[in-house]
């Protein structure tokens, strides 16, 4: 687009025509006659060079090529040529000015293009980083869904076993009503055991409510994942929250396992009681001793319940901390979204 001035054929033509004009003026001022052999020898090469320059120029038409001798003889043609030369010089000045303006425009566009390329590169880097963050969050969501499904399955199994045990306990109460007054204390102890089992059932229901709460929290987490589809700055915080959720689910699993073990042990005890009640009154004394042992176990169960309550409080505190972290995460996500939109 921007060629060198020395390579422009129009400017070369102007330069050659000016040089030819200078040569013609020098020939006219020569005092030697034209008939002189040396003058002829000196003049003819100049005119031939001038004619060749006019013929070789691609911008010149064939009908514009004139004889140099005719131009020298006609002063009107010389004046016309000078006028044309002045017009050519004016055109040359206007073209050089236009060339300068175009060069300045080209420089400004070049700088603007460089800035745009740098901005595009930065945007591509940011998009790649946010895609990596979104992939990690989606993997975390899938893992949490799988763990929640497993926990739900385990809880349904525990509920079925608890219902079976409730039926066995009702049958045992019907059989205990037919016994002697000597077994009344045993019935009271069994009612206490039933009350403790009821407390365990209520704890299981509370665990189910917590599972529902976890489901709602997982739904909120999924919504947050959709909102943070192109963001990466909160990766470390999300990792910490994932570890806290994993620890919380593990603690729930261990507690459910403990409840199952307690229920299994109580079922075995109830079966032993049914066998002993079918026997004679002599076995009642053995039952009393076993009930003493059961009281000790019941005391241990109360201690375990107190431990579970303490753990419940700790879980509530952990839940509050988790909700605070999530609120801070939502605030950060909203700020990042606003900054990205701006």
For residue range 11-38, list pLDDT tens digits in order: 667 677 777 777 776 655 444 444 444 4
Per the CB < 8 A criterion, the answer to whether 228 and 138 are in contact is no
Q: Is the pLDDT score of 3 beyond 70?
A: no
Burial tier of 70 (Cβ tally within 10 Å: 0-12, 13-18, 19+): exposed
CA distance 234 to 329: 8
Q: Is the pLDDT score of 164 beyond 50?
A: yes
Q: What b/e readout covers 284-315, taking b as 16+ CB neighbours within 10 angstroms?
A: beebeebbeebeebbeebeebeeebeeeeeeb
112: Cα within 13 Å, side-chain hemisphere: 6
Which of 312, 40, 48 has the alpha carbon at shortest distance from 202? Answer: 312
CA distance 20 to 172: 134
Helices (H) and strands (E) in the chain, counts: 7, 0
* Residue range 212-228, pLDDT digits in tens: 887 787 777 677 767 76
pLDDT, residue 53, reads 44
> What's the pTM?
0.21
Mean pLDDT, range 275-293, rounded to an integer: 67
End-to-end Cα separation, the chain, in angstroms: 39
Structure token digits, residue 93:
């000045």
């Amino acid at each position: 687009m921007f060629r060198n001035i020395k390579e422009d054929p129009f400017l070369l033509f102007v330069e050659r025509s000016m040089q030819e004009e200078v040569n013609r003026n020098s020939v006219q001022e020569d005092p030697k006659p034209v008939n002189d052999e040396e003058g002829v020898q000196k003049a003819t090469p100049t005119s031939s060079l001038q004619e060749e320059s006019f013929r070789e120029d691609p911008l010149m038409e064939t009908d514009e090529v004139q004889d140099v001798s005719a131009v020298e003889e006609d002063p009107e043609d010389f004046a016309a040529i000078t006028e044309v030369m002045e017009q050519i010089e004016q055109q040359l000045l206007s073209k050089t000015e236009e060339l300068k303006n175009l060069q300045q425009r080209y420089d400004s566009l070049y700088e603007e293009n460089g800035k745009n390329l740098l901005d595009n590169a930065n945007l591509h880097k940011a998009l790649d980083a946010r895609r990596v963050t979104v992939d990690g969050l989606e993997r975390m969501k899938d893992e949490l869904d799988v763990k929640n499904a497993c926990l739900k399955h385990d809880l349904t199994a525990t509920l079925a076993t608890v219902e079976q045990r409730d039926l066995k306990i009702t049958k045992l109460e019907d059989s205990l009503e037919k016994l002697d007054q000597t077994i009344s204390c045993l019935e009271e102890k069994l009612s206490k055991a039933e009350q403790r089992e009821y407390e365990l059932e209520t704890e299981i229901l509370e665990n189910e409510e917590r599972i529902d709460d976890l489901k709602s929290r997982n739904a909120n987490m999924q919504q947050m994942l959709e909102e943070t589809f192109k963001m990466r700055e909160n990766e470390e915080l999300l990792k910490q929250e994932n570890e806290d959720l994993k620890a919380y689910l593990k603690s729930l699993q261990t507690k459910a396992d403990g409840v199952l073990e307690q229920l299994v042990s109580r079922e075995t005890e109830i079966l032993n009681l049914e066998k002993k009640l079918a026997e004679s009154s002599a076995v009642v004394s053995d039952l009393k001793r076993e009930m003493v042992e059961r009281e000790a176990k019941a005391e241990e169960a109360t201690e375990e319940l107190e431990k579970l309550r303490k753990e419940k409080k700790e879980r509530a505190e952990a839940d509050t901390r988790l909700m605070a972290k999530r609120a801070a995460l939502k605030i950060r996500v909203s700020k990042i979204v606003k900054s990205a939109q701006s």
